[in-house]
Structure 1
């Protein structure tokens, strides 16, 4: 699981460290520091060991170059070419008149001397006779050699570097293995510790992710998600962030509750006002019809009375729409039956043909009837509102096509498409909001209350479906997706 609690973003790349998790960067940084420290310790240890071994070898070399008094040597002077007491591989040579003596060579295991090669002789003759040990590569391998001037001639003594090199190689191997083992152990332990340390951040991320998925825009919201107390202690850096996040969520929850109470008051007022308006509107319509039947009126009086009647009918329709929205907002379950959606579409389109003969009305229906589970009256209102919207806001000659189809997931899709001027992009985001009107953008002479599409969305959602809009100049399509009969509607 990622630190944020969500799938890894597509933009993350191992070649871009800025996209790595903080946990990953901390682990890698720790490993880099450990490698640097181990390398520094290894280099210092190797250099120190090299100095110690070289000093030991130089001391042995000086001791070997002194030799011992040979038998029968009355002067008692030491002879460096005497092999007794020297280790196998020791190089002994005497320089006489600038030339290496023939008895020079390497001491073998049987205490005989292995003669020098021509390249060995050339390398030894080039040695400075200053009494300081130097390293040379000879036919027997690497050697630490010393050329000294003695009373009995210039003497060259050498000791093999193999023991020193073997000791240093063992040191390097040991340090590499120990360092690698330590890095693995520290890496595993560090990963576990860093994961545990970063767990509060993951909890903060999980809470933020859950809140981001909550529908906070409308309705009653239960904002019960909070950062656990273990990650919200204000005395720590991470805990202070968790504590601040909880305070913010408390504030947001209070604001949402206040907004919900305000919405409920407004909805209740609209419902009550609409209900109360039905009686006077019915009385106005009744008295208007009575006056037309019983009172002699002039032509202007008849027109005025007709205007009163048409406006009262329009207001009655608006009140009924508001009452319907209020009932839908309350979430009350509706009586549902199997509805032949194909037949309902045919009937609704036929009604619109009578009202708008100047439009071209087309149908795209499947061969078999399509049935959904729902309220026939409400689904009829959905279709009527969509078709009325296309009729009112498009010019004469516009083609309006209504289609019904089954989608691959088994749901039913009803589309209402017109080839009118389209809906401007700035209106599309709020087209289903209440009292939203785009009359100025789409041609047509009939006004609207701005509730039709809001009623469409509310009814469709109450039936467990969705409604979508796709619009551009020359093509506007409303797509209503409903569960088929027998599907589980929400």
Structure 2
């Protein structure tokens, strides 16, 4: 569970890190960014072009207005400069036109025509702006009290300067309208492109999602042992070798076919090995029984020297040990075949008491303790097999710990409603590198946990197989001074 949660945490996306985003998200964002850049470039170029067109058009109008003002302001011969006509009185001047006549550093006359055709005087600050205009230069833009104006100052042959200006309001309104139009059109285009692009990219990326789903399903299959049905494959729509994604899907299907063939070969080999073990164990029972019988017969009918009796006792003990090993192998073979468990209601509390009592007789040099609930706990299972689970766990604690070790066997109900049996000892513990394979068959680490009795390495493997067949789980935690095996079994629902 912790490993799965660690994988889940490793796949959590950090939105501040683009490398953790979905590929489709990055593609949509890249497309949107490119579109924003294109729209921005088009907008800047369009705005600059329109500004040049407006300025050129306004400059022509300004030049015409300036010409009219200068022609109207030309005095008759022998007419003093101070009596020259006001250029603002020139015919044909449009509303908003500004005119002024500057003589030296003095503004002789100035004003502009409003929308009703009336003359509006300029402020002193506006006249100071007009006085600072460059003479006989291209038109320039200035801000006056009545708005922004495009102005031109022309020096006449009579020594005075005629200033003519046209308002920039119409130009600014047209350019603002252009900007808003492009912004709204661009935003609309971005929304449409974003939605349509998301749909298209999702459809395009769907084969990759199918590949990911197939790989995820395969990664969750228990491929290490047992019969494995590796039927999952990439669908034909995502495994056509004519495209890049299809080539990956086709290669993944080829790999899955190869893995499936290897798993079938492994399963066939395991089946043959199990069948051989079962057959060999079954065949060994008869000669072993005969050996034990003849050993007993010889002991009762023949007279042996001391060495002969020791040898005969050795033959008998080894035949009994071999018989136990054969029975364990037969039990594992039956469990591997998945034979159904003959279940009945089993009083787990009573079963623990009886099994611990048996161990007390076999190992009085250990300290055996019980931790029992107030009420009996009943589970559904095979009483004989559950007894063997308890016996193997207690025997394991006895064989691998020194005399005087305390072994505590507990029974309780967990919060999830399952029955929990724990066998805890204060022995030297199990090495960390051996704990992950402690339930493997023929796994032994006698050097780590002191003990003198030889073991076959099948006891804990039988425990795991029986508990799994009963729908439960078994696990171990160990450190120097404390080793605990925990068995969880489903309980019988109370009426």
Q: TM-score band, normalised by the shorter chain?
A: over 0.9
Q: Tell me which residue corresponds to 1:398.
A: 405
Cα distance in structure 2, aligned partners of 1:475 and 1:132? 97
DSSP 3-state at the match of 2:423: strand
Q: Tell me which residue corresponds to 1:3.
A: none
Cα distance in structure 1, aligned partners of 2:223 and 2:116? 96
Cα distance in structure 2, aligned partners of 1:338 and 1:8? 42
Select 1:258's aligned residue among 240, 246, 265: 265
Q: Verify the 8 A CA contact 1:432 1:454 in the aligned structure 2.
A: yes
Select 1:134's aligned residue among 106, 130, 140: 140
Q: Which runs of 5+ in 2 are unaligned?
A: 1-6, 78-83
Select 2:198's aligned residue among 172, 191, 208: 191
Q: Verify the 8 A CA contact 2:207 2:238 in the aligned structure 1.
A: yes
Pairwise CA RMSD of aligned residues? 1.8
1:337 aligns with 2:344: yes
Alignment map for 1:179-328 (pairs within 5 Å) = 179-328=186-335
DSSP 3-state at the match of 2:424: strand
Deviation at 1:71, TM superposition (A): 12
CA distance change for structure 1 residues 118 and 44 in 2, over 3 Å: closer, same or farther?
Answer: same
Q: Verify the 8 A CA contact 2:73 2:85 in the aligned structure 1.
A: no
1:110 aligns with 2:116: yes
Cα distance in structure 2, aligned partners of 1:70 and 1:212? 94
Deviation at 1:79, TM superposition (A): 7.2
DSSP 3-state at the match of 2:88: coil
Q: Tell me which residue corresponds to 2:13.
A: 12
Q: Tell me which residue corresponds to 1:59.
A: 60
Cα distance in structure 2, aligned partners of 1:71 and 1:125? 19
Normalising by structure 1, what TM-score?
A: 0.95
Q: Verify the 8 A CA contact 1:352 1:388 in the aligned structure 2.
A: yes
Deviation at 1:367, TM superposition (A): 0.7
Q: Verify the 8 A CA contact 1:402 1:415 in the aligned structure 2.
A: yes
Q: Tell me which residue corresponds to 2:4.
A: none
Q: Verify the 8 A CA contact 1:334 1:375 in the aligned structure 2.
A: yes
Select 2:489's aligned residue among 465, 479, 482: 482
Deviation at 1:334, TM superposition (A): 2.2
Cα distance in structure 1, aligned partners of 2:9 and 2:285? 57
State the 4+ residue runs in structure 1 displaced beyond 3 angstroms. 6-11, 68-75, 77-80
Cα distance in structure 2, aligned partners of 1:112 and 1:364? 110
CA distance change for structure 1 residues 71 and 20 in 2, over 3 Å: closer, same or farther?
Answer: closer
Q: Verify the 8 A CA contact 1:83 1:111 in the aligned structure 2.
A: no
Alignment map for 1:79-94 (pairs within 5 Å) = 80-94=87-101
Q: Verify the 8 A CA contact 2:88 2:112 in the aligned structure 1.
A: no
1:388 aligns with 2:389: no
CA distance change for structure 1 residues 457 and 70 in 2, over 3 Å: closer, same or farther?
Answer: closer
Normalising by structure 2, what TM-score?
A: 0.94
Alignment map for 1:25-44 (pairs within 5 Å) = 25-44=26-45
CA distance change for structure 1 residues 178 and 78 in 2, over 3 Å: closer, same or farther?
Answer: farther
DSSP 3-state at the match of 1:67: helix
Q: Tell me which residue corresponds to 2:360.
A: 353
Deviation at 1:49, TM superposition (A): 0.5
Deviation at 1:42, TM superposition (A): 0.5
Q: Tell me which residue corresponds to 1:420.
A: 427
Q: Verify the 8 A CA contact 2:72 2:90 in the aligned structure 1.
A: no
Once the two structures are superposed, residues 395-438 of structure 1 have per-residue CA deviations (whole angstroms, 9 ceiling, x without a partner) of 11111010111111111011111010000011111111100001
Cα distance in structure 2, aligned partners of 1:44 and 1:196? 35
Q: Verify the 8 A CA contact 1:64 1:80 in the aligned structure 2.
A: no
1:22 aligns with 2:23: yes
Cα distance in structure 1, aligned partners of 2:243 and 2:73? 85
Cα distance in structure 2, aligned partners of 1:83 and 1:72? 11
Q: Which runs of 5+ in 1 are unaligned?
A: 1-5
Cα distance in structure 1, aligned partners of 2:13 and 2:468? 37
Cα distance in structure 1, aligned partners of 2:201 and 2:224? 38
Cα distance in structure 1, aligned partners of 2:371 and 2:310? 42
DSSP 3-state at the match of 1:81: helix
Cα distance in structure 2, aligned partners of 1:155 and 1:445? 122
DSSP 3-state at the match of 1:470: strand
Q: Verify the 8 A CA contact 1:67 1:78 in the aligned structure 2.
A: no
Deviation at 1:82, TM superposition (A): 2.5
Q: Verify the 8 A CA contact 1:42 1:172 in the aligned structure 2.
A: yes
1:431 aligns with 2:438: yes
Deviation at 1:288, TM superposition (A): 0.3
CA distance change for structure 1 residues 468 and 369 in 2, over 3 Å: closer, same or farther?
Answer: same
Once the two structures are superposed, residues 63-95 of structure 1 have per-residue CA deviations (whole angstroms, 9 ceiling, x without a partner) of 0111176599878x9974334322211101111
